[in-house]
Chain A
Amino acid sequence: MTQAVVHPHAKVKRATKSSWVGLAVIVVLLLVAPAVPYLVDKGTQGSLVTLFSLIVMATMWNLLAGYGGMLSVGQQAYIGIGAYALVYIADTVGIDPFMAVPIAVVIAGLISFPISFLAFRLTGGYFAIGTWVIAVVVMEIVQQVPALGGGIGVTFNGFSDLTPGRRIAYVYWLSLVGVALAVAVTYWIMRSRLGLGFTAIRDDATAAASLGVRVTRSKRFVFVVAAMGCGLAGAMIAANTLRVQPDSIFSVNYAVFMIFIVVIGGIGTIEGPIVGAVVFFALQQWLSDLGAWYLVILGLLAIVITLFLPRGLWGLLSGNGRIRLFPVGYRLVPPVAILDVTHEPAPATSEG
């Protein structure tokens, strides 16, 4: 520990064998996924859009909490903003819905910027409830605006000239691009200098600050990115359901979903939220006959995983970080001479 002797033949590597497998899986997915509208019915496509929106939300929440240490219970604010912005820009302003989506995403980001100054006054659990209050306030304000339908909400008409079959296919493709972007951006952030800084902040904020990591600025950047991602998820939901109501689009249930997904899947990894979203979605379908019981079961699962399996299902599947589809960390590869052939080399630095 005390002596940093780097063996002349040792190398630092990011990618591992498993991340090449990951790349292969991604390539296959990218080839198959776009063809889905030709293969399955409208209902299944709608369900997949829901799954994609869950992956986007969870990935964003993981970026906030798992990397940035910010446990937000108020991301539904940006889901709502994204949804309302899409409907307003497409229906009232009259911009093409597919162009309106990126604009809605930017609006969510712009609104989150000043909000971050308020929210960052609080830390830890108080940050959690503070973001929740802010989400409630955003909803209450929206409910007072007649142009946004007040308390009743609005119907999305931007696709009314498309047949239902075409509409759902377009929305599916849109969501596919959205989910790929969200994961790619998160991956990019975590591989950048910023990502390294985050790992440092999460491990020890004071030490990171003293080493020149701009803690608040980095956190604010991630806060805005996460808001944009949730805005995207909101736009996806609005395009999928064609109806936006303040009570449901700003529902704290979205916060519940993203938190449970990330906790169950594995916090602080890129794969965790994806695994969690798939498990969550499957459980939701499977347990749908049980009504509210599914949230009870998910909640208990989340508590048990928090207490006994802090790395989540992905941690379990990947043998505590040995396998990774997305190489974000660094690992030291010892030179062949001292390589212990029976064991995988231990990661020198892991992303947790």
Chain B
Amino acid sequence: MTLLQVSGLDVHYGDFQALYSMDLTVAEGETLAVIGANGAGKSTLLKAIAGLVAPSAGEISFDGTSVTTLAAHKRVPLGIALTPEGRRIFKSLTVEENLLVGAHAKRKGPWNLARVYEAFPLVADRKDRVGTNLSGGEQQAAAIGRALMSNPRLLLLDEVSLGLAPVVIEQIYAALPAITSQGTTVLVVEQDVNQSMKVADRVQCMLEGRTVLEGAPADLTRDQIASAYFGI
């Protein structure tokens, strides 16, 4: 069953066009990785799905209903949650307060403070610290936990591994099975191709605002991915 369908999506920032007639489909329960170089339009795609940028053309439908013009804050109660690029942890709030703000929409589901702490021991240890006093990895884990607190059906993860040490990336991705096993659909955007190939059911590669390659990791060769990634 299709949970998210993006069709013919154009996004402009002023005169600059970031997405060109983008199509994307995510089935319920699936984990899709969107990969691509810096500036390929991956983050813009996630922002459009979350409602932070308005598309100039195209359609986004979630669970069969159009959300194209719905405000960002109204998409959260439907079950769309985004962990934004740069984590965007609220700096003056403690980790626990950040998580509680994440639960503001009061959506029912498996996730609560205790479950998040269980999935991310990194977060549990730091629950009383304010956002300014966290390392990058702690911020990333807290940001994912915060998104989970809204009990999303679709979790959008933007550049999870950016700027983190490999061991920290491992720790964070270790929590992904716990998330998907709850039936949560995950759309992850990554520059780190190897990491995405490991966790994703399907990979879609973007170049300059367009999809250039898609398929299951097992069906794609390294050369195919390399040429799609760099456009050579």
Contacts and interface: CB of A to CB of B under 8 A. Distances in A.
A1 B14 CA distance: 10
B37 to A, nearest CB: 15
Interface string A1-31: 1000000000000000000000000000000
Interface residues of B, number: 3
| 3 cross-chain pairs, A with B, having the tightest CB-CB distances, nearest first | A1-B16, A1-B15, A1-B14
Contacts of B15: 1
Interface string B186-215: 000000000000000000000000000000
Interface string A59-72: 00000000000000
A1 B16 CA distance: 8
Contacts of B16: 1
Interface in B3-27: 14-16
A1 B15 CA distance: 8
A136 B184 CA distance: 62
Contacts of A1: 14-16
A260 B92 CA distance: 38
A332 to B, nearest CB: 15
B94 to A, nearest CB: 28
Indicate the size class of the contact surface on chain A: under 10
Interface of B: 14-16
Nearest to B14: A1
3 contacts: A1-B14, A1-B15, A1-B16
Nearest to A2: B16
Contacts of B14: 1
A1 B17 CA distance: 11
A280 B16 CA distance: 41
A173 to B, nearest CB: 50
A195 B15 CA distance: 27
A110 to B, nearest CB: 43
B200 to A, nearest CB: 31
B148 to A, nearest CB: 35
B129 to A, nearest CB: 28
B12 to A, nearest CB: 12
Nearest to A1: B16
Nearest to B15: A1
A164 B20 CA distance: 74
A186 B3 CA distance: 60
Interface in A239-259: none
A334 to B, nearest CB: 16
A264 to B, nearest CB: 29
A312 B16 CA distance: 28
A320 to B, nearest CB: 16
B127 to A, nearest CB: 34
A1 B18 CA distance: 13
A305 to B, nearest CB: 25
A279 to B, nearest CB: 33
A1 B13 CA distance: 11
Nearest to B16: A1
Interface in A40-83: none
Interface in A146-168: none
Interface string A101-116: 0000000000000000
A125 to B, nearest CB: 21
Nearest to B13: A1
B13 to A, nearest CB: 9
B39 to A, nearest CB: 10
B41 to A, nearest CB: 15
B167 to A, nearest CB: 35
A345 B167 CA distance: 55
A1 B12 CA distance: 13
B166 to A, nearest CB: 32
Nearest to B39: A2
A233 to B, nearest CB: 40
A118 B15 CA distance: 43
A89 to B, nearest CB: 54
Interface string A267-285: 0000000000000000000
A5 to B, nearest CB: 15
A1 B39 CA distance: 14
A251 B61 CA distance: 59
A135 B14 CA distance: 43
A275 to B, nearest CB: 29
B57 to A, nearest CB: 21
